[in-house]
Structure 1
Amino acid sequence: MKTYSSKIDWWLIILILIVFGYPFIDGVLSNQYSLSLTMFAILLLIFWMFSKIKYVIDGAILKVWWIKIDIHSIKRIYKTNNPLSSPALSLDRIAIVYNKYDEVLISPKLKKEFVDELLKINPSIIVEI
């Protein structure tokens, strides 16, 4: 079993800290501790979720959060910057096309190593990176 973590864009961290950090600080300074506590809890939840975004290759199965993909069903992998919501913390993404019409966008930190590992299991994958 091999685990790959998601690449994280620095601007995403800054954006989240601004959006939720400002109300946290403002709540502390204005003695609105319920606001501060709420914003701090949201920040903790977001960063906890970030830590859980991993891509696991377990035998012939690719696990992306709760999605299990048979690696032999993967048809194509291509580079994309699509900003759609997905289990990826960077816009430097790859799209994995599997089954007939299914697709998932991910952003492994070690992209080449990740794709090479998939190709070891299914050499018929078309790679366009």
Structure 2
Amino acid sequence: MKIYRSKVDWWLMAIIFVPFAAIFVKGIIDRKIEMIITAVGMIGLILLLLWKIKYKIESTTLTVWFTKIEIKSIKKIYKTRNPLSSPALSIDRIAIVYNKYDEILISPKDQVQFIEDLLKINPEIEVML
């Protein structure tokens, strides 16, 4: 089993956390405990979800968050900067096309090694980087 963590863009994390940090600070200034609790709760929830973003290659299966993909079903991998919501903490992404019409966007830190590991299991994957 091999686990890859997501690459992280600092500016993307700022976009996610600044609004909740502002609510937290406003809650402290206004002495409103419900604002502080809400901000801390949301930041905690986001951190928990972000911590769970990893890509696991186990035997012949790739697990992305809660999605299991048979590596033999992967048709193509290509580079993208598509900002659509996905289990990726960076805009430096790769798209994995699998089954007939399925696609997922991910951002492993070591994209080259990640793709090499997939190719060891399925050498027929078309790679377009």
Structure 1: 5+ residue runs without aligned partners? none
1:30-45 counterparts in 2 under 5 A?
Answer: 30-45=30-45
Distance 2:84 2:59 in 1: 29
Q: Deviations over 1:79-119 (max 9, x none)?
A: 00111111111110000000111100000011111000000
Structure 2: 5+ residue runs without aligned partners? none
1:52-63 counterparts in 2 under 5 A?
Answer: 52-63=52-63
Distance 2:17 2:122 in 1: 40
Distance 2:77 2:125 in 1: 7
Distance 1:86 1:17 in 2: 17
What TM-score results when the alignment is normalised by the length of structure 2?
A: 0.97
Distance 1:25 1:31 in 2: 10
Q: Deviations over 1:7-46 (max 9, x none)?
A: 1110012222211101101101110111111011100110
Q: Deviations over 1:39-77 (max 9, x none)?
A: 111001101111100000000000011111000010000
Partner of 1:105: 105
Distance 2:6 2:84 in 1: 16
What TM-score results when the alignment is normalised by the length of structure 1?
A: 0.97
Partner of 1:49: 49
- The percent of aligned pairs where both chains have the same amino acid is 53
Runs of 4+ in 1 over 4 A off after TM superposition: none
Partner of 1:128: 128
Q: What is the letter of the counterpart of residue 69 of structure 1?
A: I
Distance 2:82 2:13 in 1: 19
